[in-house]
Structure 1
Amino acid sequence: MMASFGMPGRVPDSEDEALRDAAAGENSSSALQKRWCSGMKRNSEMIVQELSAEKDSEVTFDEVVTARKERSQQYKRKQMRFLLLPGSRELNFWRASMVVVVLLAVVLAPLEMAFSYSRTISSLTWLYRLIDILFILDMIITFNVATTSHGRLETKRKTLAMNYARTWLVPDFFINFPWDLVLQGPGKTRKIAKILKLPKVFRVTRLLRAAGEEAHYFGTAANICGILLMGHYLSCIWVMLLIDCTIELDAQQLCPDMLTAYLQGLSVGLATLGGSDGWMRFILPVENEANSVNSVNFEWPAQYGALTDLTAALSCLMGFVLLGMLFSNLAHAMDRRHSHTRLFHARVANLQAAANQHQIPKELYSRIKRHYYYVWSCGSDTSKAILADATLSLDLRRELAYCFYGDILKQVPFLEMVDKHFLQQLCEFVEIEIFAAQDRIICAGDVGTELYFVAVGEVEVVLPQPKHEKGPVIKILHEGSFFGELGLLFPDSKHKVDVYGATAGWLLVVPRGTLETLCTEELLETFRFVALERIRKPGWVDQADVSIRSTGSTSQESGSDLEGIPTWDLKGYPVVGA
């Protein structure tokens, strides 16, 4: 699996024994360091070399993980200097402002296209240009908004730009570019001018995207507003097709009143959506009152009836589709859109019911609700459900588990270059544990039977205190680190420290039996070496020594607390019987 880990059980040459005995205390730590350095990528090796050059003592595994995390955070801080972070005050203000702008745009865009002859609409040209500028500015800002994926903050500008380019960049450019200003010339007809304004109508997609980001807050009301918005669009489409007025005719009061025409179009649009022939109400009165003051100058040739019939037929067809979508959306809204979001709402509803029945402290209630939201945003319970599907073959389950957890396990420095097949087998038995900030993950006194890998977030190793109070923090473990390793070194030993969540995050939990079954002896020794490293570390040692004594694993023939633990020769090989 990992040949660089060495050969367990190898007895060194006799000429090394004297040197080993003389330098055991001095060099065992450096040999220990050499062991867990195997299998690392070049970046991690460079960090080890830099740390070794900066300090006189040996470099520990936790120092490498911490240094790598600090370097990653420094890189992120440089990238975040000009980025808007999710949940920040500036981004929330901009998004709230854009919701208002989008609502204004989706109402005004079809009105501008349909009632271009109206002096009232023409007087709002400055507002249309301001909306155009704000939408273009929103596109630029989108390139500078960090995103959250699976509980992690994505700050790489190249990744953010590629994600935007693959999704909404081209549609946004087509919709927001001022085609009517660039392409409209003095000789263009009114019909072409209306067509050039058509892309702005699709700014409604920006509203749908904003609604999709907060989908769990929307229900039936959003669907009703959607059908009314579609009626507004159809009303303006009917006016655009059937009324051919100019500003000059409107000045002579030969064009219909804007409000009257709009309300007629709205009623016809809603009727058409329902499959009715109510569109005739919009045409027949015009024919009967052709000579009245309020009549419309259609300037239609004889074949206008075919075009209106075709428009009505297409509107009815679109209406059937929209009504089907509406009923489907209503059902989804009642069912909370899909199973994952429905489960989130069910959990919150159960929590509210429990709070009504029992006296749950407000602070605890808020923590649980935030935890449910974090689980919903990560989608961790969804991955659990997929992997539990009995219809998946063993190979598919392993490939899928590796896709979920493989990169996370590779955050551990000495697992960066490990064989893929081994990681697939290990990922198959991985369990996810979600934690919130200040959640106690491990309690002192519990038997350690599992190894915990920090996938997202940070955890604090804390000295236990009486009355279950939180004690002083010994160490903060970052992504790529692990804890619970003393269970591999001393089976059935009890935890002597508490572990709390420093931030919200999640862990990959692997049973000790799985590690002992799948891992080679070399890899198990590497985990044990990290455990010994932590035992020897000042501050961690005091508690770990108590753990060692309590397990009865120490040798009875010697007074040394660490007797019975293997030592290493100068080449980094464990010595049997030392």
Structure 2
Amino acid sequence: MKIPILNPDSHSKIGWDILILILTIAITIIIPLIMVYHLPLSGFLLVFDILISLIFIADILIESHTAYSDQRELIRDKEKIMNRYMGMAFVTDLLAAFPFFMILSFFQNPLLLRIALLSNILRLLKLFRVKRTIGRIRNSKRLNPSFIRMSLLIFWILIAAHLISCAWMAIWEDPAALNPLNAESMYLRSFYWTVTTLTTIGYGDISPSTNLETIFVIIIELIGAGMYGFIIGNIANIIANIDIAKSQYQEKMEKVTTFLRYKNIPHDLKVKISDYYDYLWESRRGYDESSILQDLPKPLKTSVSLFLNRGIIQKVPIFKGANEEFIKEVILNLNPVVFTPGDYVVIKGEIGYEMYFISRGSVDVVSEDESIVYATLGAGSFFGEIALLLSAPRNATIKAKDYCDCYSLDKETFDQILVRFPEFAEKIREMAEKRRAETEEKQKKK
């Protein structure tokens, strides 16, 4: 059967990676406990061991048929994939998958059975895959890098604590031998000892009583001293990165507040400015769309802009029937703008130089004295196209009802676009004239 080359970011491959990750965590917990408690591999544990071998063998086949990225290029050539995989990755995967216990247990030799039991520790070689697997999942699901780093740090701390606890149980000679602990209590006390030792607390209520235990404790204390500083440093760094946008926002607000106080800005205006920045933080979390898009190459910028704004542009009647290139040019020249509640977006009678597309929020179309609300426009609506196209005065006053995220298109830019697409220029102007007549008719009726 011919196995197809898999995309590493496909849903099926990511699902398989998650399964391998879960099984890796499971065997990392179970195998050390089997060895410490000398549990026989029979019944459920034997079935589990066989199942693990079969899945890990299947994983070798899947990994050897998975494309990989080389300098952002997806390599799908089977020979190149095989050459890349047939190294340490293949060796560790093979050792982790090989059914040593099933083969050696057939000989019924006590020594071989002991070796077979010890060979299960080779399954833990799959731990070397954890970072790579998490990386694939993160790239596919676009998870927060700081969240992934924190999760990995906690994972490795818990795994290290578990393995050290199992090792301590294996050599620990319980001083309360006359009243031996049950399995659960023994593991719990071992885990407690591990945590207090690694965190350099070391209460001393559990202490070594043999030379072997003393040597082991010295080693773990040295490891703990290094781990403690490493963990604290990493956690501080991760938290700083998680909150970096918030920190930048707070720093900016301090500067704004200082400026407003220094210039004796009236209290009402201070509140309005503060509310504006709060809205920007709540709605955008500190990012500036224009600056982000500006850093992208034009093909990527076009793709992102089309994704964000195509729906808005396609709702505008005057743009219906326009070709793809015309739509792209319009979208690439949109500028984001925010209006606060009560702001006049356009005023009747003034010459208009922009049209607007509402992305979020709403505006009221009102009479000159604001006694009549002709209409309320929400997300996906547009206005100002008549003044933009015909260089005519605004025929209505429009006021922001609440915080309103819009995109503006200025007349100078739009005229340049029309020069490049003359076949649409006359058609668009005719439609604008028709729309102006319809709007004036509606206002007369009201």
Distance 1:245 1:471 in 2: 87
Deviation at 1:483, TM superposition (A): 0.9
In the TM superposition, what is the alpha-carbon distance from 1:185 to its structure 2 partner? 8.5
User: Deviations for 1:365-398, whole angstroms, at most 9, x for unmatched residues?
Assistant: 673244222442494x2x3013434xx6666655
Distance 1:403 1:388 in 2: 16
Aligned to 1:285: 208
Q: What do residues 511-570 of structure 1 show as CA deviations (whole Å, max 9, x unaligned)? A: 12222332322123223322221111x3x2489xxxxxxxxxxxxxxxxxxxxxxxxxxx
2:275 is the alignment partner of 1:376: no
Shift of 1:173: 11
Q: Is 1:473 equivalent to 2:373 in the alignment?
A: yes
Amino acid at match of 1:368: Y
On the 8 A contact 2:198/2:227 being kept in 1, the answer is: no
Q: Does structure 1 retain, via aligned residues, the 8 Å contact 2:364–2:401?
A: yes
Does the CA contact (< 8 Å) of 1:329 and 1:337 recur in 2? no
Q: Pairwise mapping of residues 427-466 of structure 1 onto structure 2 (< 5 A)?
A: 427-436=331-340, 438-444=342-348, 446-465=350-369
Task: Report the counterpart of residue 241 of structure 2 in structure 1.
Answer: 332
Structure 1, 311-320 or 368-377: larger mean CA deviation:
311-320
| 270 and 185 in structure 1: CA distance in 2 versus 1, 3 angstrom threshold | same
Q: Which letter does structure 1 place at the counterpart of 2:355?
A: L
What secondary structure is seen at the aligned counterpart in 1 of 2:367?
A: strand
Give 1:257 shift.
7.7
CA deviations on 1:435-456 (whole Å, 9 max, x unpaired) are: 3555443344543111112233
Q: Gaps (5+ residues) in structure 2?
A: 1-9, 28-40, 47-116, 419-423
Aligned to 1:367: 275
Cα distance in 2 for residues equivalent to 1:440 and 1:172:
56
Indicate whether 1:409 and 2:308 are aligned: no
Identity %: 15
Q: 2:165 aligned to 239, 243, 252, which one?
A: 239
The one-letter code of the counterpart of 2:405 is: W
- Conserved 8 A contact 1:489-1:531: no
Q: The residue matched to 2:244 in structure 1 has which SS? A: coil
Q: Which residue, 399, 402, 407 being the options, matches 1:508? A: 407
Measure, in 2, the Cα distance between the counterparts of 1:458 and 1:165.
Answer: 42
What residue number does 1:269 align with?
198
Cα pair 1:462 1:500 within 8 Å, conserved:
no
Contact 1:448 1:495 in 2 (8 A): no
Alignment check: 8 A CA contact 2:360 2:379 kept: yes
Aligned in 2, Cα 1:317/1:457: closer, same or farther, shift over 3 Å? same
Quick one: distance in 2 between partners of 1:417 and 1:270?
Answer: 68
Q: Output the TM-score relative to the length of structure 2.
A: 0.52
Give the conservation status (yes or no) of the 8 Å contact 1:457–1:479: yes
Going from structure 1 to structure 2, the CA distance change for 1:317 and 1:493 (only over 3 Å counts) comes to same
Q: Which amino acid aligns with 1:367?
A: D
Q: 2:14 and 2:247 mapped to 1: Cα distance?
A: 26
Over 3 Å counting, the alpha-carbon distance change for 1:476 and 1:172 in structure 2 is farther
- For residues 18-64 of structure 1, the C-alpha deviation after alignment (integer angstroms, 9 at most, x for no partner) is xxxxxxxxxxxxxxxxxxxxxxxxxxxxxxxxxxxxxxxxxxxxxxx
Cα distance in 2 for partners of 1:165, 1:462 equals 54
Decide which structure has greater helix share. Answer: 2
The structure-2 alpha-carbon separation of the partners of 1:326 and 1:412, relative to structure 1 and needing over 3 Å to count, comes to same
Q: Greater RCO between the two (CA within 8 Å, min separation 6)?
A: 1
Match of 1:497 in 2: 397
Closer, same or farther: CA 373–439 of 1 in aligned 2, 3 Å: farther
Paired residues for 1:154-303 under 5 Å = 171=18, 188=45, 234-243=160-169, 253-255=179-181, 261-270=190-199, 285-288=208-211
AA aligned opposite 2:381: S
Local SS of the residue matching 1:510:
strand
> Which secondary structure does the structure 2 equivalent of 1:285 belong to?
coil
1:478 Cα offset (Å): 3.5
**Unaligned residue ranges in structure 1 (runs of 5+):** 1-162, 272-277, 296-303, 544-578
TM-score by length of 1: 0.42
Secondary structure at 2:291 match in 1: helix
* Secondary structure of residue in 1 paired with 2:351: coil
- State how far apart, in whole Å, the 1-side matches of 2:152 and 2:257 are: 30
Shift of 1:423: 1.7
Deviates more, 1:480-489 or 1:254-263: 254-263
Partner SS state of residue 364, structure 1: helix
Q: d(CA) in 1 for partners of 2:389 and 2:354?
A: 12
Once the 2 structures are TM-superposed, how far is the Cα of residue 426 of structure 1 from its aligned partner? 1.7
Structure 1 distance, partners of 2:367, 2:12, is: 49
Structure 2 matches for 1:523-538, cutoff 5 A? 523-536=428-441, 538=442
Using the alignment, how far apart are the partners of 2:20 and 2:377 within structure 1?
44
Tell me how far apart the structure 1 counterparts of residues 16 and 266 of structure 2 sit (CA, whole Å). 50
Shift of 1:239: 1.9
Checking the alignment, whether the CA contact within 8 Å between 1:234 and 1:265 is kept in structure 2 is no
Aligned equivalents of 1:400 and 1:240: distance in 2?
A: 51
Structure 1 residues 475, 406: closer, same or farther in 2, change over 3 A? same
* Other structure's SS at 1:253 match: coil
Structure 2: distance between partners of 1:315 and 1:482: 63
User: What residue is the counterpart of 2:82 in the other structure?
Assistant: none
**What SS class does the counterpart of residue 254 from structure 1 fall into?**
coil
Provide closer, same or farther for how the CA distance between residues 480 and 228 of structure 1 changes in structure 2, counting only shifts above 3 A.
closer
Output the amino acid matched with 1:426.
V
Q: Deviations over 1:64-99 (max 9, x none)?
A: xxxxxxxxxxxxxxxxxxxxxxxxxxxxxxxxxxxx
On the 8 A contact 2:318/2:432 being kept in 1, the answer is no
Opposite residue 399 of structure 2, the aligned amino acid is V
Report deviation, 1:187.
6.2
- Provide the aligned C-alpha RMSD in A: 5.8
CA-CA distance at 1:509 after TM superposition: 0.5
1:488 deviation in Å?
A: 3.4
Q: Which amino acid aligns with 2:208?
A: P
Cα distance in 1 between the residues matched to 2:16 and 2:345: 43
Measure the CA separation in 2 of the matches of 1:172 and 1:187.
19
1:322–1:453 Cα change, 3 Å: same
Report deviation, 1:459: 2.3
